[in-house]
Structure 1
Amino acid sequence: MLTAAQVAQYVRDGFTVVRGALDDQEIERFATAFKRHPPLHGPVPGVYPEPGRYTLAESCMADPDLAFVAEHPTVVESAATLLEDDPVLTAFVVYDRTPDGPGIPMHNDYKRWRPVGSSMNWLFTIVPLDDFDADAGQLFVAPGSHRLERIHDRGGRTLEVNPAIRPDEDSFIDPELKRGDLLLMNMHCWHKAAPNRSKRHRIGFFNKYAAASHPPATGYYPYTDAAFNALSESGKRLMATHSDKPIANARVLLQNGDTYLFHDGKLPGGPTFHERAIPDWDLGNYIASAHAATRERLKIEAPWLTWVGDYDEGDTLCRLYAYELSGQGFPVRYDGEWLSRDQVLDRNLGFGYEADAIDRWLDPEVVRGKGISQAQARVDQYAY
């Protein structure tokens, strides 16, 4: 689907554009469905459509007339080519910058505290429903600002990322996005948006896809079963997790050599809560919950955690994170017992998923990043 020149541009500049990726009929289908769903999922409440930027997200794709764009062949095949892997939908988002709505300053969207931003290999797929011109507000990108040389593999369980490098103001360009164009943009590419000075709504969908082998460090956004069922049978492969069961517990697979800590016969953990130190729509980061539980039960707090999986615990789900001890901690006894994988199987401990979780954690094909709480990210997301 993409040309060699487009792939080369993405590698070099951090973005590329497919002109006319969606036709007028497809855009109209999406725009009509959008009118049925007020975009009120943003972190800052407003009186729609007063001037502002409004968000339609969460599980809004339960409407098939919205969901079809998530599995649009041009979008999905282009994402697969650039990710060099099967793409997984991590965010289904529509932004509506209403008339006189403000712009957004320069930023990039690799964010270790967000389910939609903490994978180590993801990209934006951005399609405007109307021209992003000087009146409605351009989306500017900074070519080459993704700076992938900042990412390092130092032999641990997770990749390391050096702090982002802020580009110069004059390095941004306007890719001149028109109605139905597709902008594919690397997660580390810096971008900004101009204000909407027109009398029309500036609407576009800004979906995100991660490589299947690179799950979000915080865990995926918890889509509902209805959102999953809005996809076609072939499109269902795009959603890694979904359930109507609540994620009620957060647990930690704590590794020390070839053993794993069990506390009262279970992996240590406790009830989840929504942190809301950095408000946004994409719930699902329960690292603060895991920290609270391990502080209370084990008197420790890991500098970061990374998602392993979501597991059934009866009427609810558990979001499981992992961390490997480095041997640099003060040698105080842990409350619990350290067990090997074979001992876990022999003892039939916990809920029955623990051996599978260990296997997932040790899978060398999975590339992981460091997940942190929102409170940690408010200080410095690169400090860990």
Structure 2
Amino acid sequence: MSGTVTPTLSAQQIADYREDGYVILRNLLSAKEADELRRVVQKQVKRDAYPSTLKYPESAKYTVSGNRLADPGLTAIAEHPTVVGAVESALGQPAHLTAYVAYLRTPGDKGGGAHCDYKRWRPVGSSMNWVFAIIPLTDFDTEYGPFLVSPKSHKLTQVIDSDAHILDLTRPDPEQLPDFIDPELKAGDLLVVNEHVWHEAPPGTTTEDRCGIFNKYCAIDAPPAAGYYPYNPAALDALSDNGKRLIPVCFDKPITTTRLLIEDASSQESKFLLRRDAETNAWELPGSEGWEEEKGVGWDVGARIGSLQDITQTQLGLEVPWMSYIEDVEEGDGICRIYGFSDENLDIDALANNGCEWFTKSELKQRLGESDAICGAADTWQQTDVIRGKGKACRQSRHQFE
């Protein structure tokens, strides 16, 4: 799945990124360009922004995100060649745009405390290899509010077993955080930050808005475990022909259903669980109509892990502690988001009840046909060149490393 990367960063800058967890490119945008983009963001925030419960200029943090990249004046920064080149240099892979986010913080907002943004329950934060591309549109200083980083803090999180099919991570210990520093970001700079770097954004003192672009990109071989944000055709069409490659998924239909590929990994040849539909008598993956969780989602929509956990508990009596995104396929009048789960200790006999049976991959292809979506999902799930992590539900957010 690897592809060609045209580097923007030098070998030394890449080494610095790997050591410190971030790298800065000064003056990506001129003062005029940064000011023009700031005015565009302000205009779009005044028109419509998240959260919809607040109205500019109430003291708050507002976002213009996702498919809003198609709004006039907002598209170009997502595919800026220097940004994309720097991001792909840091990732070591071609990139997908997992989140388009323009932030605006009005005077009086309290800022943000120390945290890192690897979050297994969010489409934007659950890839095993992603970065921020932060472009201040005002200075990030004591007046507007700085953006502080903890150099080398990304090293507090380590992969437990690099040979595992689904990677797991150690829990970072905040008590071991290196001291935060102020990289003194100016309007128009570019800061590329590793997903595991801790950062904070103290409030400022100005009576003006603090603005910035906080886009996020993942490596194409490391899809978000929670699933990609669903872009629409307008967002895709807004990008140039070359920039369209940054969009990982694009639908003109809603995500209506969600299903789980359950793998029994207890023997050398994996088996997968199917259940027979009571009405059509057709074999299908466990699952049904899915939904967004009510809390903790905000603008970062698309994950169906919480609903799929509930569905598998109801249909199979199985508690699924994690799952990882595989792909999206058309199903009926909408899109079906498919996840995978693998375990060596499943009670396979208990699960093979009530119309459920286990099939090897060759048996799946023989029974369903090689072109069937279930067979395709099994093939994709077992690709060795895809780096997968564990996705969680929003309700598991406080215990994401358990």
Residue 231 (structure 1) aligns with: 239
Structure 2 unaligned spans of 5+: 1-7, 277-282
Structure 1 residue 228: Cα displacement: 1.0
Give secondary structure in 2 for the equivalent of 1:147: helix
Residue 262 (structure 1) aligns with: 274
Residue 34 (structure 1) aligns with: 41
Task: Give the aligned length.
Answer: 382
1:18 aligns with 2:25: yes
Relative to structure 1, is the Cα distance of residues 167 and 43 closer, same or farther in structure 2, using a 3 angstrom cutoff?
farther
1:321 paired residue among 324, 328, 339: 339
2:197 paired residue among 161, 175, 189: 189
The farther-off stretch of 108-117 and 328-337 is 328-337
Give secondary structure in 1 for the equivalent of 2:153: coil
| Identity value in percent | 39
1:73 paired residue among 78, 81, 97: 81
Structure 1 residue 289: Cα displacement: 1.4
1:45 aligns with 2:57: no
Structure 1 residue 23: Cα displacement: 2.3
2:253 paired residue among 236, 240, 245: 245
Alignment of 1:299-310 (within 5 A): 299-310=317-328
Instruction: Measure the CA separation in 2 of the matches of 1:255 and 1:169.
Output: 38
Cα deviation, 1:305-327, whole Å, max 9, x if unaligned, reads 00000111132000000011212
Structure 1 residue 167: Cα displacement: 5.3
Letter in 1 for 2:328: D
1:344 paired residue among 340, 343, 364: 364
Instruction: Measure the CA separation in 1 of the matches of 2:52 and 2:371.
Output: 39
Instruction: Measure the CA separation in 1 of the matches of 2:231 and 2:23.
Output: 29
TM-score by length of 2: 0.90
Residue 4 (structure 1) aligns with: 11
Structure 1 residue 202: Cα displacement: 0.4
**What is the Cα-based RMSD across aligned positions, in Å?**
2.0
Residue 362 (structure 1) aligns with: 382
Letter in 1 for 2:272: Y
Structure 1 residue ranges (4+ consecutive) displaced by more than 6 angstroms after TM superposition: none
Give secondary structure in 1 for the equivalent of 2:188: coil
Instruction: Measure the CA separation in 2 of the matches of 1:330 and 1:346.
Output: 21
TM-score by length of 1: 0.94
Give secondary structure in 2 for the equivalent of 1:96: strand
Residue 279 (structure 2) aligns with: none
Structure 1 residue 162: Cα displacement: 0.7
Instruction: Measure the CA separation in 1 of the matches of 2:164 and 2:349.
Output: 21
Give the conservation status (yes or no) of the 8 Å contact 1:31–1:129.
yes
Relative to structure 1, is the Cα distance of residues 238 and 33 closer, same or farther in structure 2, using a 3 angstrom cutoff?
same
1:381 aligns with 2:389: no
1:175 aligns with 2:190: no
1:106 aligns with 2:114: yes
The farther-off stretch of 182-191 and 291-300 is 291-300
Give secondary structure in 2 for the equivalent of 1:311: strand
Instruction: Measure the CA separation in 2 of the matches of 1:310 and 1:120.
Output: 19
Letter in 2 for 1:159: L
Structure 1 unaligned spans of 5+: none
